[in-house]
């Protein structure tokens, strides 16, 4: 370290430049140290317990506090260190035996192990049950955080996605919570709202939505292959929730009767020709029944009805989704001071997190409503035929 030279030991020769002082390094090499602009230093009246300083192009004096002056009089003892309290008074703090053992640990990981602390960098094994009264939270870059919460009788995992700098109001939440023998799964809850606005509730016997009439099972672009159940679906049909039902009008009767007579036997092309999910089956592919949506639309439009005014006619479209990858750079192994590996090396890599999906659209039926529409028309036809038969029989049997 450079230090000011003692002229008695190191005779001063001609300085190399104005406002320099002689220095000598630890290796014994003579040199000089530039002080800078000393023009404003001479007029200063430096009082006791003051030190000069240079800032903003001018010299000034800095006063030492009473506590600073008192530091020289502190009588330190073994395993203590001085510090300033809130009252700005020098106090001695004791270093415990545990602290001494931690300070002498070979590495940070060893020190954390000694005091049973959890580190924030690297992989560690944590033994035993951990209890907290408030949330534990880990931020994951700019993408979100994982929070382990224990509010009252609940414990679970909260995943937040969005911009942490914007607070909860800018983030979407996905929660897993366990409470009183049931699990609540809140997926893609609305940003800025509390958990539970949308999600699933799982108990020992049921799986259901957290909020009534707010979620769909599947979507127009992501369909279930099959739904297996012992009993048929139960749909709400409470008269208290509906307008007063009416009979079919003449145009509706004609449309339903015509739809009932459309060609209705077909096979899935994906089963006949095969696709990425199944082998081609040709004529061995199983037969399915029901008219196509486009044929039903054509019938209704020919009769003068708006097909999309009826809930059994459905049309959905979706935008393209790009392929998304999660990538990570290579990382060298992390070693402690003794060369022991505390984090293994990581090779650069990537993984697919979302497959690409082309934009598309699809026509669909609500088949139970379509069948009710058709059945009502057929029942009306049967009623008309029955009346004609009854009239004919009455004519033959006056």
Domain shared by 299 and 386, yes or no: yes
Domain match, 269 and 316 both:
yes
Q: Are residues 267 and 313 in the same domain?
A: yes
Show the DSSP H helices in the chain as ranges: 66-70, 97-103, 108-114, 250-260, 269-273, 293-303, 367-396
pLDDT exceeds cutoff 70 at 285: yes
Per the DSSP assignment, residues forming a β-bridge with 385 are none
Q: Is residue 224 situated within a structural domain?
A: no
Q: What is the 3-state secondary structure (H, E, C) of 84-130?
A: ECCCCCEEEEECCHHHHHHHCCCCHHHHHHHCCCCCCCCCCCCCCCC
With beta carbons less than 8 A apart as the criterion, state whether 321 and 93 touch. no
Q: How far apart are CA 388 and CA 93, in angstroms?
A: 108
Out of 94-98, 290-294, 394-398, least confident range = 94-98
Per-residue model confidence (pLDDT) at position 336: 77
Q: What is the mean pLDDT of the chain?
A: 74
> Among the three residues 171, 187, 209, which one is the final residue of a domain in this structure?
209
Domain count, the chain: 4
Average pLDDT for 151-166: 56
The mean pLDDT value for 303-317 works out to 95
Residue 105 lies in a domain: yes
Band of pLDDT at residue 280, cut at 50, 70 and 90: very high
pLDDT at 370: 96
Residues 295 and 171 in one domain: no
**Residue 229 lies inside a defined structural domain of this protein:** no
The answer to whether residue 75 sits within a structural domain is: no
User: Residues 230-261: pLDDT tens digits?
Assistant: 888 888 889 999 999 999 999 999 999 999 99
Whether residue 125 is contained in a domain is answered as no
CB 116 within 8 A of CB 129: no
Stated as kind and residue range, the H or E segment containing 80 is strand 80-84
173, exposed or middle or buried, with CB in 10 Å at 0-12, 13-18, 19+? buried
> Could you tell me if 319 and 370 lie in one domain?
yes
Q: Which of 111-125, 278-292, 322-336 has the lowest mean pLDDT?
A: 111-125
Per-residue pLDDT reduced to its tens digit, 10-42: 454 544 455 565 565 656 666 665 555 566 666
Same domain, 143 and 114: no
pLDDT in tens, 119-141: 666 666 666 666 666 655 555 55
190-227 residue pLDDT tens:
555 554 456 676 766 777 777 777 778 888 777 888 88
**3-class DSSP assignment, residue 60:** strand
Residues above pLDDT 90, as percent of the chain: 25
Q: Are residues 280 and 381 in the same domain?
A: yes
Does residue 130 belong to any structural domain of this protein?
no
Distance of CA 164 to the CA centre of its chain: 10
Please state, in angstroms and rounded to a whole number, the distance separating the CA atoms of residues 377 and 256: 6
Check residue 350 and give its pLDDT. Answer: 84
pLDDT at 2 over 60: no
pTM: 0.52
| pLDDT given for residue 5 in this prediction | 45
The answer on 276 and 185 residing in a single domain is no
Domain that holds residue 21: 3-64
Does residue 345 fall inside a structural domain? no
Residues 311 and 370 in one domain: yes
Q: Please indicate, yes or no, whether residues 27 and 158 belong to a single structural domain of this protein.
A: no
Q: Which of 51-55, 104-108, 128-132, 360-364 has the lowest mean pLDDT?
A: 104-108
In a domain, residue 230? The reply is no
């Amino acid at each position: 370290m450079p230090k000011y030279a003692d002229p008695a030991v190191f005779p001063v020769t001609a300085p190399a430049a104005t406002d320099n002082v002689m220095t000598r390094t630890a290796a014994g090499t003579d040199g000089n140290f530039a002080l800078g602009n000393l023009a404003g230093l001479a007029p200063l009246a430096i009082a006791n317990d003051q030190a000069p300083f240079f800032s903003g192009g001018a010299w000034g004096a800095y006063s030492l506090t009473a506590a600073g002056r008192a530091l020289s009089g502190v009588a330190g003892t073994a395993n203590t260190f001085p510090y300033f309290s809130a009252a700005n008074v020098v106090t001695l703090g004791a270093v415990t035996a545990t602290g001494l053992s931690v300070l002498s640990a070979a590495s940070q990981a060893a020190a954390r192990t000694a005091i049973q602390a959890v580190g924030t960098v690297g992989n560690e094994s944590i033994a035993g049950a951990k209890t907290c009264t408030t949330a534990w939270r880990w931020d994951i870059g700019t993408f979100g955080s994982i929070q382990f919460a224990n509010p009252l009788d609940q414990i679970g995992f909260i995943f937040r996605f969005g911009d942490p700098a914007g607070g909860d109001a800018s983030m979407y939440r996905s929660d897993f919570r366990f409470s009183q023998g049931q699990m609540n799964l809140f997926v893609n809850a609305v940003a800025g709202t509390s958990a539970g606005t949308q999600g699933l509730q799982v108990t020992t016997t049921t799986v259901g939505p957290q909020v009534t009439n707010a979620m769909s099972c599947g979507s127009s672009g992501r369909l279930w292959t099959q739904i297996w159940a012992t009993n048929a679906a139960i749909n709400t049909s409470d008269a208290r929730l509906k307008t007063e039902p009416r009979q079919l009008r003449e145009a509706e009767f004609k449309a339903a009767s015509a739809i009932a007579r459309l060609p209705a036997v077909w096979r899935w092309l994906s089963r006949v020709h095969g696709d990425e999910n199944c082998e081609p089956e040709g004529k061995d592919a199983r037969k399915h029944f029901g008219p196509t949506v486009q044929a039903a639309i054509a019938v209704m439009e020919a009769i003068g009805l708006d097909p999309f005014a009826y809930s059994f006619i459905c049309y959905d479209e979706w935008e393209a989704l790009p392929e998304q990858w999660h990538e990570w750079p290579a990382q060298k192994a992390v070693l402690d001071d003794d060369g022991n590996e505390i984090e293994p090396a990581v090779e650069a890599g990537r993984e697919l997190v979302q497959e690409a999906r082309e934009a598309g659209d699809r026509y669909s039926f609500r088949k139970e409503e379509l069948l009710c529409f058709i059945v009502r028309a057929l029942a009306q036809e049967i009623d008309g035929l029955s009346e004609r038969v009854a009239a004919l029989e009455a004519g033959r049997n006056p």
